[in-house]
Amino acid sequence: MDKIEVRICSGTTCFVMGSSFLNELYEIIPARYGDKIAVKPSLCLGQCSKNDKHAKAPYVKIDEEIISEATVEKVLKAIEKRLN
């Protein structure tokens, strides 16, 4: 199984809308899932420019799936779903 890639958007809009609260994922994910998942920052995932979706920020991308209005809980739930 390839590593699941989790990218946390840290662009201006996502940061203002709460992606800074997602920083705890950098500690939680490796501790919980080991080397099955790679967590990386992203300067921008390009979602805000699509159809004026600023209100849906912050964004996290798990492989090719975009999580809008991302929270730690939403991201962990999506990871669990991918692993099962």
Domain at 27, CATH number: 3.40.30.10
Helix axes 25-33, 72-83, angle to 10 degrees: 30
Terminal alpha carbon distance of the chain: 12
Domain of 41? 4-83
With residues binned 3-state (H G I as helix, E B as strand, rest as coil), the percentages for the chain, rounded to 5, are 45, 20, 35
Give mean pLDDT, residues 20-36: 93
Give mean pLDDT, residues 51-66: 85
Please report the pLDDT score of residue 2 as a whole number. 84
pTM of the predicted structure, to 2 decimals: 0.90
* Total domain count, the chain: 1
